[in-house]
Structures are given as C-alpha cells and as structure tokens.
Structure 1
Amino acid sequence: MSQDNKLDKTNRINLLFAFYERLLTDKQQTFLKYYFHDDFSLGEIAAEFEISRQAVYEHIKRAEQVLENYEDKLGLLSKHESRSHYIDELRRLPEIGLLSEEYNIRFTEIIDRLQSLD
C-alpha cells in the first residue's frame, strides 16, 4: 500500500471513528485509538495487552469492518462530506457578487449556522 493510500485510509478510519465511536465495543475503541490516533504499532499494542500481533491485527480489521458497515447503513460520513461540499459552494456565492451586501451578511450568517450543526 502506498503512503498516500495509507494516509487516506487512516483519515477515513479516523472520520468514521468520530461518527461511530460510541457504537464500538470498548476493546474496538481502544485498539483503533492506539493504532490510528496514537500511531502505535501492532507489536506495541500486542505488548500492552499481552496478546499476539495477529490478534491485534484481527481486532483492528474487525473494527474497521464494523465502522464501514455502520457507514453503509447510516451514511453519516457521506452526508457530512456532502453537506460540507455544499456549504463550501454557498460560501463562494457572495464572492461572485450575485447578492447585495445586506443579503451577503444574512447569507453568511445562515451558512455559519448550518456549518455549526455538525
């Protein structure tokens, strides 16, 4: 796996984790935090929990699958990314000059409120 792909995967898992963390078991949460947030190696996690590297790997892979399954069913990350994209588009509209200054101010306030809903 290339470095870019690994970074993309890490970013995706971290985003999914942010949305679905509470739906994971304590062990899944802990292993994912150690591996993806704290950048522990499989060996370091295995030593910490006195289990094999293979067991750690399997726990992490299973937790990744659980996160992806939740995303497939609930789509929270996908919705968040779509909403962010549309908010970015809306933020560019005042730059085009289609709205009066008065509307630009109100428009920006509404966009800020929409963004704060996340």
Structure 2
Amino acid sequence: MDNFLRLSALFDCYGSLLTGKQQKCLKMHLYQDWSLSEIAACLHISRQAAYDMLHRCEITLEKYDANLNLLQKDKTRQKALLDIAADINSLRNGFQVNRLNSIENKIKALLNT
C-alpha cells in the first residue's frame, strides 16, 4: 500500500509531464482502481502493454522526483509550516519575543526555498 500512496503522490506532482495516454492509464489504475484487463480494453492495447505502461510510468515519475525532489521539498515545507503554527499557538499563552523571531526566521526560510 505504501508504494501505491507514493505513486499517487508522484502522479499528483509530476503527472502532467507524462503523455496523455500515460496519464489516462495511470488515472484508471490509481483513482478508478481498474484492473489491467479493463485498462487494456479501454486503451485498445494488450494486458501486457497496460502493465508495461504502468511500470514505465512509475519509473519515469521516480526519475523526475530523483532530479527535482519536489516531494521532499513539499514535505519539508509542510513540517516548517506546522512548526510555525505551533509557535503561533504558543504565543497565545503570552507574548514572547524569541518566539516571534523564530516565526519570522522560519517564514523567511520558506520564502527562500
């Protein structure tokens, strides 16, 4: 299941870089839960060709992520934003200059990435 979620995240991030047919094939597999036979029938290809296309899509998406690393960058940004939210929440308990400086630095770091 973990691989399925990763493939979904990769497709969300880099799917537009695939060909139209690859996108359609992967959407049927990921979002509509179609079998290889159903995908093959819809695309007028063999079951083996549908399998090969899905496999090539996964390899292609992994290559894009290896080069661009957008998933990790997004994960890092999300963690930073959660940290900022925690800092802001702690300010509700009282005004703290160090916390404000910490928030300011984190926001500046996010803007520079």
Question: Does the alignment reach a TM-score above 0.5?
Answer: yes
Give unpaired runs (5+ residues) of structure 1: 1-5
Question: What SS does the aligned partner of 2:25 have?
Answer: helix
Match of 1:60 in 2: 54
- Structure 2 CA distance for partners of 1:61 and 1:99, relative to 1, 3 Å: farther
Q: Which amino acid aligns with 1:25?
A: T
Matched, 1:32 2:21: no
Alpha-carbon separation, structure 1, partners of 2:75 and 2:69:
10
Match of 1:3 in 2: none
- Given candidates 2, 13, 19, the residue that maps to 1:19 is 13
TM-score if structure 1 supplies the norm length? 0.74
Structure 1 vs Structure 2: percent identity of aligned residues?
38
Where in structure 1 do 4 or more consecutive aligned residues deviate above 4 Å?
A: none
Q: Which amino acid aligns with 1:12?
A: R
Structural RMSD (CA): 2.4
Match of 2:95 in 1: 100
Question: What SS does the aligned partner of 2:33 have?
Answer: coil
Give unpaired runs (5+ residues) of structure 2: none
TM-score if structure 2 supplies the norm length? 0.77
